[in-house]
Structures are given as structure tokens and as C-alpha cells.
Amino acid sequence: MIFEGKRILVTGGTGSMGKTFVHRVLSGEQGTPSKVIVFSRDEGKQHDMRAWYLHRAAMTDEVIFRNFMSVLEFRIGDVRDYDNVCTAVRDADIVVNAAALKQVPTCEYFPEQAVLTNCIGAHNITRAIQQHGYPVESVIAISTDKACKPVNVMGMTKSIQERIFIAANVLSPQTRFICVRYGNVLASRGSVIPLFLDQIKHGGPVTITVPEMTRFLLSLNQAVDTVFAALAGARRGETYVPNAPSATIMNVARALIGQRPIETRVIGIRPGEKLHEIMVSEEEANHAVRRGNYYAILPMLPELRDEAPNEPNALAKEFSSADNVLDAAGTVDLLHRNQLLPEDVTVSSAEELLR
């Protein structure tokens, strides 16, 4: 029961993954926490989240004034601000860093902003713990497959974030710093699926970059499962990666369209995009081991590698979204299980989607 009696800080806790994580933590499935702190800079999203949890029956201001008396606590702050981070981190046993700029085009146009949130924000957390000796037990960074051999600013800054947290283990040995890395989260902010659904709603066309482009796909709950698994089993400096399925963008689009007469239009690959994503690089495959349904990428720093047990490599090559691509039926089944398809699309009708 990894959260029993713990104080948990979630930076960026009003995002898609943050909200699902908080909901499941508060369910008690991994123990009953003493405090869950949602730390973010958007007061509107915090208000909506507070209302959903604490006073759906009666909207009153009383809940706001009891903010610090509740298990679920909201704090306005910014990971870019060191003082804000210090104030939040000092009260936590576990820190989940979900704060990020993760829209690829936004990061391409404003790379300095991506650095401030994704890199400096991460450094503020490690710096606070190192300088003040806060008794934080574990810090986990939420990363992305785009951090693996990155070709865009979002991936580059997330890759640096991973290295910042991994290296922090050396100078702050009392705290365990670990990472998770996963692919596209179905229907989350930034996923292609909400775009497709909006295009379908307005009669199309549905825009496809490249029909054979593949992406790893997993649900929000599977993303949270990965975080839980890493917190339960990862050693210092390790990065957990789920063994997730992948699908072609064309099959995803056709499945969402179903039998409706909506056009698909190929627009070409966009700046900063890969044809296939990589979850574990060829270099990392040399020190990736199996942990249940996950791969654990062992840290490269010798100070941390010496702590690792002698485990066999689990991969002989890079782990790419092109490796095990779902067919049409598999794609439909995956989207069905996540309640993202219109009722007229069934697994048995999947072959028709390819005509």
C-alpha cells in the first residue's frame, strides 16, 4: 500500500493524467493518504476540480476556506518559481511531477517557455530537496516517448528533465528519483483523438499526416498504472516504460469515423514529428530489464548502476511503435474498451474500415 499515510504532491495536478491519478489515489486502492496536494497555476481548473470532488451537491464558498483542512488540498503556484516549489515540496513524502508544456507545436514556437517549465521546473524540485534537505521519500517524473531520440523541442526538454531527475539521486541519496515514459494517452489533452472527434463532429475532413504513421496508445488508467508500478518497484534512477500496443493513425481515424460518409485527407508529416515513435532506444535497450508488464531502463551513471542487481537485458533492439502494430480489429477493440467509438462500429465490422 504505497500511499498509506503519505503526503502526496502532484504538480500539474489539474491536467488529464493528474486528475486521474488524484482520483485513484483518493479511492484508497493503494492505501489511504493523509494528504493529496494539487499544485498548479490555473485557478479555474483548480476550482472545477475542487467543485467536482468536494461540493457537487451545493456550490458554496465554505469549501475554499476549509482547503487546508481537507485531505485533498489545492495550492496555486508555478514549478518555474523556486520559492513556490520549496513551499510545496517541503510538505510532501511523494512528489509526482506532471507539470509540463506538452503541445508539440507550442513548444516549437516558444522553446524558451518549454525549457522554463519542463527543465527549470524539474531543476527547482531537485534543487529544493538538495539545498534544504527536505525529507521527501520519492520523486517521479512523468515523461514521454518523444523524449527518446527527440526531434522536437517538447521531446528534447522532456529528455533533459529525465536526466535532471536521474542525476539528482547522486547528490540527494536520501530521496529516490525515478521516471516513467509512455506514449499517446487516449483522449487526453494533446492527443490526436480529440482533434479527430472534433473534425468528425463538424463533418470532416479528418486530416491524416501520413497513413502509415504509428503511435503507442494507452488509456489514462494505464498511464496511472505505470506510475503506481514505478513507485512500487523502481530503484533509484530507473525509468519505467509500459509494454503498450500501437496503431496506425489511419486505422484510428477510420475506426472513429465508423460508417459515416466523412472524408479523410492526407496532409503530410508536420515539423517535429516522427513516422514512428520510440519508447526505448537502441542504446537504452542494452540496459533495459523486464519488470512484470513494464521495461525498466537502468541508469547509466556508475554511482547508480553499481546499486542495480544483475538482471538480463529484456530487449535486443529499440522498442518502436512500428514493431507490433494492431490490425484494424485490434484498433477498434482498443478504442471500444476505452469508450471512444460510435455505437455503429464493432470489432466484427473492422475489416470494412480498410476498404
**What is the predicted pLDDT for the residue at 187?**
72
**What is the predicted pLDDT for the residue at 263?**
93
Q: Which fold has domain 1-182?
A: Rossmann fold (3.40.50)
Which of 246, 184, 187 shows the shortest CA–CA distance to 212? 246
**pLDDT tens track, the chain, 355 positions:** 999 999 999 999 999 999 999 999 999 999 999 999 999 999 999 999 988 886 643 444 444 567 777 899 999 999 999 999 999 999 899 999 999 999 898 999 999 999 999 999 999 999 999 999 999 999 999 999 999 999 999 999 999 999 999 999 999 999 999 999 999 898 776 678 888 989 999 999 999 999 999 999 999 999 999 999 999 999 999 999 999 999 999 999 998 888 889 999 999 988 888 999 999 999 999 999 999 999 999 999 999 987 666 788 999 999 999 998 999 889 988 888 888 876 666 656 555 655 5
Distance CA 51, CA 21 (A): 17
DSSP, res 2: T
Active site residue 146: yes
**What is the predicted pLDDT for the residue at 355?**
55
Its sign, for the CA torsion 49, 50, 54, 58, is negative
CB atoms within 10 A of CB 100: 26
Q: Which one is catalytic: 146, 149, 158, 317?
A: 146
Q: Is 279 exposed, middle or buried (0-12, 13-18, 19+ CB in 10 A)?
A: buried
Which of 83, 81, 5, 85 shows the shortest CA–CA distance to 39? 85
